Structure 1
Amino acid sequence: MTRKRVTIRMSDEICELLTRKSDEYGLPINALLVMAVVDKYGEKEGVPVGAGTGSVRNPKSVAGPRDAKPKHR
């Protein structure tokens, strides 16, 4: 998956709301935005669930969603 830098223009009210929710949940704003997209369109639309580090469900983890299975060596 390639990463892209995206700039989103938004009103001050939306920015304040995202900042408040980010502090409340302890998540980065990009994770909140990805969760909103996944809630709206669902994973079956091909929306990647990971945002930044870890998965949305467990944002503190360093491994992504596909790294959950143990590796056989």
Structure 2
Amino acid sequence: MESSRKFFPAIVVLLLLVIATAQARECETESSKFSGMCMIQANCDHICKTEGFMGGDCRGFRRRCMCRTQC
């Protein structure tokens, strides 16, 4: 029982490191093809996918279409 208490923190730290490295970072860039204010998420997402990105979202006060990609 005592030996399992010694190894538990090490196992938790190792698990957290594996999870952190498995998640890919995402970067955002403004869509070059989307024009006007971005009001409908699905439209932005579709345009970004046609530009070769993973997807897109309407962002910010000016409602711009921002496309997502892996960094």
TM-score, normalization by structure 2:
0.21
- Rg (Cα) greater in structure: 2
Greater RCO (CA < 8 Å, at least 6 residues apart): 2
TM-score, normalization by structure 1:
0.20
